[in-house]
A = this chain, B = another copy of it.
Amino acid sequence: MVKPDPRVILKEHNIPITIQRVKILEYLIRTNEHPTADQIYSEISDEAILSFATIYNTLHLFTKAGIVNELHIDKDKTHYDIVRKPHDHFLCRECQKIYDIYDLPIQPFTNDTIDGHSIERAHIYFYGICRECLKKNKR
């Protein structure tokens, strides 16, 4: 899979380029995690001068632009996820890891109407025990 260029993405969205934005986006692209603001900070604070305020500002900016999704799968932290293909998420209640779920049998909803409400987005969160923890528990 070709990793997209953060600078290109920013340009496509008419967002002026700064080192901080590039670094944050770069990290979101290369990680397979669904990092919190905190994780982003500790991962890239050595690569560029940046503060927490910038992280939050930038993530809000990216969210508005549709570059990232905020996940509220986890009770007390917001996780961020770069938008590629639409997909859903699974949180393991044992190891707390978040997995991407692609290709659900259904994925309609958006641009739809339910009970008269106009639906713009839908988030589906699954909770349970992940395959890794299932394996471990068997032993």
- Chain A contacts to B: CB under 8 angstroms: 70, 72-75, 78, 90, 92-93, 99, 101, 104-106, 109, 114-131, 134
Contacts and interface: CB of A to CB of B under 8 A. Distances in A.
A134 B116 CA distance: 9
Given A72-B125, A118-B129, 7 more contacts: A70-B75, A72-B72, A101-B115, A120-B127, A120-B128, A122-B125, A124-B124
Contacts of A114: 90, 101, 104, 126
B117 A90 contact: yes
Contacts of A116: 130-131, 134
A93 B121 CA distance: 11
A126 B119 contact: yes
A117 to B, nearest CB: 5
B128 A118 contact: yes
Nearest to A120: B128
A126 B34 CA distance: 21
A115 B129 contact: no
